Chain A
Amino acid sequence: MADLSIDFCGIKSPNPFWLASAPPANSGPQVMRAFDAGWGGAVWKTLGDPVTNVTSRFWANDYGNTRMMGLNNIELITDRPLEVNLKEMYEVKKRFPKHALIASLMVETRENWKEIIKRAEDTGCDGLELNFGCPHGMCERGMGSAVGQEPKVLEEITRWAMEYARTPVIIKLTPNTGDINEPGEAAARGGAPAVSLINTVKSLLGVDLDRFVPNPRVGNQSTNGGYCGPAVKPIALFMMSQLAKNPATKHMAISGIGGISNWRDAAEFISLGATSVQVCTAVMHYGYRIVEDMIEGLSDYLDSKGMKSVNELRGKAIGAYAEWGDLDLNYNLKARINPDSCIGCNLCHVACMDGAHQCILIPGRTHAEHEKAGHTHIPASIPEVPVKAAGAVGRFLPVIDDVECVGCNLCHLVCPVPGTISMVEVPGTIGKSETWNDRVAQGRDLNPGSLDSTVAKRAGAKP
C-alpha cells in the first residue's frame, strides 16, 4: 500500500484529504467525526468577528437526474463566538495530534490580524489559511475576495501575517479575477509558503419563475453567491495548474480545492501540482464517509502505477500541459464504433451532424436522404451492419466517414454507452510533427482563405 502521508510546507498530514473551510468543518464535534472517518486534515470554518447568516442559504444546479452538479451559497464566515471555536479547536488538536488542523481567518485591520493569529495559534493548530476568497457579503465589507482581487492589498496582509505567524501561512485565492497569476504572485511576494485555490465562483444560480426572485430566496429577495461542487472542477484545475507552472509561484505548496468528489478528482489535482486537496460540496452532499473510497482508491491507483508515495504523483501532468501553439498539428484521430456494444441510439449521428463535421451516416437511407440529412460528402459504400445487441432489431451501426471526420471527440463524448466510440490514432495529414509556433517562426502561419486585410498587412510587413 502506497504511503499517502504528506508534508505541506511543514504541516504534516496522514493523507492529503482535508475538509475545506466550510460547513463540514464548522464545529469540534463535526471535525472529530470527520477525523474518525479518515480525513487527514481540516481547515476550520473561517474565524473572524461572528456574522449573522440569512435563511435560506444554498441553491443547487441539477443535471438530469444528477442532483447538485453545482452548489451556490450565500453563507458568510462563522456565526459562532470566537472563544467557542478556539476551545473546540484546542480539543480537536488534543485528541488528534497527528492530524492537520488549520485555522481559516478573515478580519479587517492589522490589529485584528495580529490578535486573531495569536489566538488561533494558541489552540495548537498546525497552520493558518487566510481567506481572501469569499465572493459575497464579506467582500462588500472590504474582506474576502475584495482582498483576493487586489494584489497590492493581498501582498500587504500576507506580509503582516508572515510577521505575526509562527505556523505556515496558506493564502486562499478567489477565482473571481482576470488572471490568477496576479494574486498568486502577490502571495509569493508577500512571502507565503503556500496557496490554496479555488474559493467559490461568483454566481447567481437561477430564478424562481413564479415569484421572479432569484434562488436561494430570502423572503422576496436574493443575492449573488459562491458556486462550487463538480461544476467548478475544471475552473479550479486550470487556475491551480497555472500557479503550478508559473516560475514565480511554483515554489509554493498548493492545496487544491474545487469540485473534488472522489479519489480520481484528487489524483488529477495532485498530478497537476497539489500537495493536499480540500473538499466541501461532496461532503455536504454525501457525508464524511466518502473519504474511505478516496483513501482506498488513491492508494490502489498509486500501487497500480508502481508509485510508493503520493509525492511521486505530484506534478506528473504539469509537463504535458502545453501552450496551444506547441500542440502537434499533425496528430490525427478518427472515431471508431464498437459493433458489440453500440445500441443504435444515433446520438453520435445527430451530434456530429449539428455540432461537428457531418460525417456519421445512418445506413439504410437513400443517397437523397443522406443529402437531406445534411451530409455534403457521401461515401461510395455505406455498409449496413446490423447493431448486434439483442433487442436492437432493424438498426444499423452508424458509419463514420473518415474523409470528413476531424477527430474532435464529440461523438465519443455523447455516446451513452461508455467505451463504444473510441478514437484511434491514424497517420497525420502533414507527414511530420509541426506546431503553429513552428509555422509562425517560419512565417507560414497564414492559411488559405484569410482576410484580404491580413494578407495585405503580411505582404507589407514582409516584402
Chain B
Amino acid sequence: MHPLTVLPSGRLEQQFDDKKPRYTAAEAITEANRCIYCVDAPCIKACPTTIDIPTFIHKISTENVKGAARTILAENILGASCARVCPVEELCAGACVYNAWGREPIAIGRLQRFATEATLEKAPLSSLLPAKKPATGKKVALVGSGPASIAAAGLLALEGVQSVIFEKRAIPGGLNTLGIAPYKQSGQAALDELHQVLALGGIELRTGVEVVAGAAGAGQVSSDTLLKDFDGVFLGLGLGPDSKLGVPGEQGAGVYGAVDLIERIKAEPGLKLAGSRAFVIGGGNTALDIAHELRLLGFQDVALVYRREEKDMSGYAHELAHAREDGARLLENRVVTEVLRDAKGALTGVKLARAKDGKALAGTEETVAVDLIAVAIGQSVATGVAKAFAGVQLDAKGRVVVDPKTHRTGNPKVWSGGDCVNGGKEVVNGVQEAKLAVKDMLSALGGK
C-alpha cells in the first residue's frame, strides 16, 4: 500500500486557527435541534451531491451520530472534506428555509463536520459504507489524485473494481490537500481522509508519475499504456498553473502565482514571507483566500487589487466579508501596469493605474511600495494530455467535453470530472461528477 503521506512540520499553514472549529457534542445537538426537518428540503436540492441533510441532522439530534455519518457518506464519500471546505453559504445553508424566515440558517457544514469527524476518528470509513462487492476483475486508471479521482477510486473499490491513481506530484490529493485555505482545512486533514479511502482496498496510488501524451520518460506513463492496460480511464486533471499578468517586472522574486504560493504555505516547511504590504491581484475566490491568508500571516496592509467593482467580483460575498473582518481591504478599479524592482532585482513596488470597465486609464498611474505580490487572475488548463486519448475533445476554453449525465468523453473508455471538466468549481462538484462517471463506468464495464 502507498505509505501514509505525512506533511513535515514547520509549515506556515500550521499557524492558522480553524475558523469554524468542530462542534462539541452539546453544541451539535443544540444546533441540530434547531433544524425544522423539512420535507422536500431545499437544502438537499442545493447540495451538489444531494446529501439527505434533514435526516442526518435529525440523527445528530438523537445522538445517533454514527448514523448521521452513514447518511452523509452514502451520498458523498468525501463528506468530511466537504463539511470543512464547502461554501455552504452558497449551497445547502444558502437554501435553508431559515433564510426565508430572516434567521440564521442551520450550520449544516459544521454539523456535517461534527458527524463525520467524530465518527471517523473511531470507526474506519469502510464500516460506514455499504459492504464491498466481490472483485470484478476490472481495473481503471485514474489520472490525478484530486478529490474527483479519490471519490471515483473509493466508489469503484466498493463495487469491486480495482484502480490505479497516477499523480504527478509527490503529495497526493490535488487542491484539496494543497489549495484549501488553512483556516478551513489543513493539508494533513485532507490526506487523512484520502488514506481512509485508500484503506478501502483495491486502490493503488502512484505519486510522482505523470501521465503524458506520446512516449513516456522517467516518472511518466503514456496515455496509450493506460488505454491498453486498463478497462477504463478517468481524467481528474484539475487546472493548470497560475496565469501570468504579463506586465514588465513580473518575473522575479516577490511576485507569486497565488495557487503556487498557497501550495507553499500549506506544504513547504520553513517558508518565510516577510514584509508589511501585500498586493493580491484578482477578484475571484483564490484572490480572496490568499489575501485573507496573508493578512492572517501578519502582513499589515493587504489589498485586493481588482480591475472592476465589487459587484463584478466572481469571489463570494461572504468570503470578501470574512477577509475584510480580518483586515484585508479591496481596491476597486485599479490595474497594476508595471512591477518595480531595484538594481539588484528586488521587488520595491508597482505602478498602479485607475481603471474603468477593467481597462487602465492613461495618465492615472501612481507608484506604490509593496513587499509581496500574489497574482490570482485564474489558472490555465492542464488538459493537453487529454487530447492524447483518441476521441476526447476539449471545448474552446480547454475544458474536457463530457456527456453531463454520464461524464463519459468522446472516447468510450474515458470518463472525466472535476475542475478539468467544469472549469474550476468546488470539491463537492468533483465528488458528484465522479459519482456520475462511476455509475456509467460500472454499466459500461459490466456490459450492463
Chain A residues in contact with chain B, CB under 8 A? 64-65, 343-347, 349-350, 362, 387, 389-395, 416-417
Please determine whether A65 and B36 come into contact, CB atoms closer than 8 angstroms: no
Cα distance, A345 to B43, chains bound together (Å):
10
Please determine whether B34 and A347 come into contact, CB atoms closer than 8 angstroms: no
On chain B, the residues within 8 Å of A393 by CB distance are 42, 95
On chain A, the residues within 8 Å of B40 by CB distance are 346, 349, 362
Across the A-B interface, the 10 shortest Cβ-Cβ residue pairs: A389-B100, A391-B99, A392-B100, A346-B39, A345-B38, A64-B33, A343-B100, A391-B100, A350-B39, A65-B33
Selected from A345, A362, A395, the residue in CB contact (under 8 A) with B36 is A345
Please determine whether A347 and B39 come into contact, CB atoms closer than 8 angstroms: yes
Q: Which residue of chain A lies nearest to B96 when distances are taken between CB atoms in the complex? A: A391
Please determine whether B33 and A395 come into contact, CB atoms closer than 8 angstroms: no
Please determine whether B100 and A387 come into contact, CB atoms closer than 8 angstroms: yes
On chain A, the residues within 8 Å of B102 by CB distance are 389
Please determine whether B42 and A344 come into contact, CB atoms closer than 8 angstroms: yes
Closest CB-CB distance, A402 to chain B, in whole Å? 21
Please determine whether A349 and B39 come into contact, CB atoms closer than 8 angstroms: yes
Closest CB-CB distance, A414 to chain B, in whole Å? 10
Q: Which residue of chain B lies nearest to A353 when distances are taken between CB atoms in the complex? A: B39
Cα distance, A390 to B101, chains bound together (Å):
8
Please determine whether B39 and A345 come into contact, CB atoms closer than 8 angstroms: yes
Please determine whether B36 and A416 come into contact, CB atoms closer than 8 angstroms: yes
On chain A, the residues within 8 Å of B37 by CB distance are 347
Closest CB-CB distance, B34 to chain A, in whole Å? 7
Closest CB-CB distance, A353 to chain B, in whole Å? 9
Q: Which residue of chain B lies nearest to A65 when distances are taken between CB atoms in the complex? A: B33
Q: Which residue of chain A lies nearest to B31 when distances are taken between CB atoms in the complex? A: A65
Selected from B42, B98, B101, the residue in CB contact (under 8 A) with A395 is B42
Q: Which residue of chain B lies nearest to A364 when distances are taken between CB atoms in the complex? A: B40
Selected from A65, A346, A350, the residue in CB contact (under 8 A) with B30 is A65
Say whether B97 faces chain A, with CB atoms less than 8 Å apart: yes
Say whether B61 faces chain A, with CB atoms less than 8 Å apart: yes
**A-facing mask of B271-296, CB < 8 A → 1, else 0?**
00000000000000000000000000
Please determine whether A389 and B101 come into contact, CB atoms closer than 8 angstroms: yes
Pick from B30, B100, B102 the residue with the most CB of A within 10 Å.
Answer: B100
* Interface range on chain B (Cβ under 8 Å from partner): 10 to 19
Tell me whether A392 and B97 are in contact in the complex, defined as CB-CB below 8 angstroms, given that A346-B38, A347-B39, A362-B40 are known contacts. Answer: yes
On chain A, the residues within 8 Å of B100 by CB distance are 343-344, 387, 389-392
Q: Which residue of chain B lies nearest to A416 when distances are taken between CB atoms in the complex? A: B36
**A-facing mask of B40-68, CB < 8 A → 1, else 0?**
11100100000000000000010000000
**A-facing mask of B76-109, CB < 8 A → 1, else 0?**
0000000000000000000101111110000000
Which parts of B182-228 form the interface with A (CB within 8 Å)? none
Cα distance, A362 to B37, chains bound together (Å):
16
Please determine whether B97 and A345 come into contact, CB atoms closer than 8 angstroms: yes
On chain B, the residues within 8 Å of A392 by CB distance are 42, 97, 99-100
On chain A, the residues within 8 Å of B95 by CB distance are 393
On chain B, the residues within 8 Å of A417 by CB distance are 101
Cα distance, A155 to B38, chains bound together (Å):
55
Closest CB-CB distance, A204 to chain B, in whole Å? 20
Selected from B30, B33, B34, B97, the residue in CB contact (under 8 A) with A344 is B97
Selected from A64, A347, A350, the residue in CB contact (under 8 A) with B61 is A64
Cα distance, A343 to B95, chains bound together (Å):
11
Cα distance, A131 to B207, chains bound together (Å):
80
Closest CB-CB distance, A337 to chain B, in whole Å? 14
On chain A, the residues within 8 Å of B45 by CB distance are 394
On chain A, the residues within 8 Å of B33 by CB distance are 64-65
Please determine whether B61 and A343 come into contact, CB atoms closer than 8 angstroms: no
Please determine whether A347 and B30 come into contact, CB atoms closer than 8 angstroms: no
Closest CB-CB distance, B27 to chain A, in whole Å? 11
Pick from A64, A346, A389, A391 the residue with the most CB of B within 10 Å.
Answer: A391
Closest CB-CB distance, B292 to chain A, in whole Å? 26
Cα distance, A391 to B97, chains bound together (Å):
8
Cα distance, A343 to B34, chains bound together (Å):
15
Which parts of B3-37 form the interface with A (CB within 8 Å)? 30, 33-34, 36-37
Instruction: Pull 22 A–B residue pairs with CB atoms less than 8 Å apart, ordered by A.
Output: A64-B33, A65-B34, A344-B42, A344-B100, A345-B36, A345-B39, A346-B40, A347-B36, A347-B37, A349-B40, A350-B39, A362-B39, A362-B40, A387-B100, A389-B100, A389-B101, A389-B102, A390-B99, A391-B100, A393-B95, A394-B42, A395-B42
On chain A, the residues within 8 Å of B42 by CB distance are 344, 392-395
Q: Which residue of chain B lies nearest to A64 when distances are taken between CB atoms in the complex? A: B33
Other A-B contacts than A65-B30, A345-B41, A362-B40, 5 sampled, CB-CB below 8 A, are A65-B34, A345-B36, A345-B39, A362-B39, A417-B101
Q: Which residue of chain A lies nearest to B95 when distances are taken between CB atoms in the complex? A: A393
On chain B, the residues within 8 Å of A350 by CB distance are 39
On chain B, the residues within 8 Å of A345 by CB distance are 36, 38-39, 41, 97
Cα distance, A347 to B39, chains bound together (Å):
6
On chain A, the residues within 8 Å of B36 by CB distance are 345, 347, 416
On chain A, the residues within 8 Å of B34 by CB distance are 65
On chain B, the residues within 8 Å of A362 by CB distance are 39-40
Please determine whether A347 and B101 come into contact, CB atoms closer than 8 angstroms: no
Cα distance, A362 to B39, chains bound together (Å):
10
Cα distance, A74 to B100, chains bound together (Å):
46
On chain B, the residues within 8 Å of A394 by CB distance are 42, 45
Please determine whether A343 and B39 come into contact, CB atoms closer than 8 angstroms: no
Cα distance, A424 to B406, chains bound together (Å):
51
Q: Which residue of chain A lies nearest to B34 when distances are taken between CB atoms in the complex? A: A65
Pick from B33, B39, B95, B102 the residue with the most CB of A within 10 Å.
Answer: B39
Closest CB-CB distance, B42 to chain A, in whole Å? 6
Closest CB-CB distance, A370 to chain B, in whole Å? 13
Cα distance, A417 to B103, chains bound together (Å):
12
Please determine whether B38 and A347 come into contact, CB atoms closer than 8 angstroms: yes
Q: Which residue of chain A lies nearest to B54 when distances are taken between CB atoms in the complex? A: A345
Which parts of B141-163 form the interface with A (CB within 8 Å)? none
Q: Which residue of chain A lies nearest to B98 when distances are taken between CB atoms in the complex? A: A343
Closest CB-CB distance, B24 to chain A, in whole Å? 15
On chain A, the residues within 8 Å of B61 by CB distance are 64
Closest CB-CB distance, A361 to chain B, in whole Å? 12
Closest CB-CB distance, A413 to chain B, in whole Å? 14
Which parts of B84-139 form the interface with A (CB within 8 Å)? 95, 97-102
On chain B, the residues within 8 Å of A346 by CB distance are 38-41
Cα distance, A393 to B97, chains bound together (Å):
10
Closest CB-CB distance, A374 to chain B, in whole Å? 12
On chain A, the residues within 8 Å of B39 by CB distance are 345-347, 349-350, 362
Q: Which residue of chain B lies nearest to A341 when distances are taken between CB atoms in the complex? A: B101
Closest CB-CB distance, A385 to chain B, in whole Å? 14
On chain B, the residues within 8 Å of A64 by CB distance are 33, 61
Pick from B30, B40, B61, B99 the residue with the most CB of A within 10 Å.
Answer: B40
Which parts of B326-382 form the interface with A (CB within 8 Å)? none
Which parts of B294-328 form the interface with A (CB within 8 Å)? none
On chain A, the residues within 8 Å of B41 by CB distance are 345-346
Cα distance, A387 to B100, chains bound together (Å):
9
Cα distance, A87 to B30, chains bound together (Å):
46
Please determine whether B30 and A343 come into contact, CB atoms closer than 8 angstroms: no
Pick from A343, A345, A362, A393 the residue with the most CB of B within 10 Å.
Answer: A345
Cα distance, A344 to B95, chains bound together (Å):
11
Q: Which residue of chain A lies nearest to B101 when distances are taken between CB atoms in the complex? A: A343
Closest CB-CB distance, B107 to chain A, in whole Å? 14
On chain B, the residues within 8 Å of A344 by CB distance are 42, 97, 100
Closest CB-CB distance, B171 to chain A, in whole Å? 40
Closest CB-CB distance, A54 to chain B, in whole Å? 28
